[in-house]
Structure 1
């Protein structure tokens, strides 16, 4: 900020030195420029203080949330964490007999696992043993998952779902505090519940 102040003062001094003597700058113009500079300086300082306050709040949240490591979280996200060769998710309310299609893709976007189940009504759980469609055991890490219902005409509709995983760490990044579930990083704001 000191550099900006010095630049402003240099500009103001230069402006005063080179003003037309027959038409000097009026006091109200000078006062207006000084007031504008003061307002900008205060806004910059307010923004710095606000950033510092947000950072302190996130650091405090990070410290408090470290106790969650080792617990199981349920999060609303399309990132499915495969941990120790297993993953699970819960599908939102569906009607009994409704067909649910689940598709899991790797980081390259290739579908590695497809599954179809019939809804028992209400909430439905789905577990994955980490094996691809051809039976190959896949490595732990984050996978992308999509869940849809299919009607008799073959029309698909997205269904709300949440993934489950063991919290292995808490991190703070540019977008705020996140939970780690193995290789998957999920914003804390997406976490719906935590259980032991």
Structure 2
């Protein structure tokens, strides 16, 4: 006579511990407010009845935790504010593409037919001022007479023509400015306007870099002046 066993394949499964995927923990190992109150509850439950926790000690613990929690929340707020500022700066910088910015540099890139602009900077009035346009080989391809300039900043424009009356080819050039200051031959500072080709955001919270014509770059924070075209 066959006997029937009271066990089945399901019986073996009945005693297996259920394992699940642990929930994601966003606390990064730090105690939360719930953890603090849970610990405090356990401390009160297991305290020595003859040596109860002093009120001052309990208030001190709560104050310390509140301060730590407040600092953590403040750090989060600052991080969100920094990300917001980066996004705002990136949007601001993107509006500069196609426009010109003033750079404290006398070198520039020029496309055929352009008329590069710049500024002469001097602390004292100067006379007999000339602007020498040089190519990458250091050759003077055009001399632009300016005459007298006052102290401060003076705008100038090069028509993009060589001394032979021909259009200068596309490429990199440099403005060199010289004149007389207090009767002495002096070189004056020249700043140039450079067109912004594109913008690069160097990571979250990083510098925003403007990519200028001619291959050079500059930080958005270094922009002195912005003009159309």
Q: Same fold (TM over 0.5)?
A: yes
TM-score (norm 1): 0.57
More helix by share: 1
Partner of 1:41: 72
Give, in whole Å, the separation in 1 of the partners of 2:145 and 2:188.
15
Q: Distance in 2 between matches of 1:27 and 1:100?
A: 80
Instruction: Find the aligned partners of 2:138 and 2:29 in 1 and give their Cα distance.
Output: 56
Whose strand proportion is higher, 1 or 2? Answer: 1
Quote the residue 2:28 is aligned against. 3
Q: Does 1:90 align with 2:157?
A: no
Larger radius of gyration: 2
SS of equivalent residue, structure 1 residue 53:
helix
Change (3 A) 1:116 1:145: closer
What do the CA deviations read for 1:104-141 (whole angstroms, capped 9, x no partner)? 9x9xxxx95799987522326375x8xxxxxxxxx956
Of structures 1 and 2, the one with the larger relative CO (CA 8 A, separation 6+) is 1
Q: Do the aligned partners of residues 28 and 45 (structure 1) sit closer, same or farther apart at CA in structure 2, a change above 3 Å counting?
A: same
Q: Counterparts of 1:177 and 1:187 in 2: how far apart (Å)?
A: 5
* Aligned-residue offset at 1:149: 6.4
Any gaps of 5 or more consecutive residues in structure 2? 1-25, 161-169
Q: Deviations over 1:123-176 (max 9, x none)?
A: 26375x8xxxxxxxxx956x998868664456x6864x4312233223333223
Give the ranges of 4+ consecutive aligned residues of structure 1 lying more than 6 Å apart after TM superposition: 20-23, 113-118, 143-149
The answer for the alignment partner of 1:52 in structure 2 is 83
Give aligned pairs, total. Answer: 172
RMSD between aligned residues:
4.8
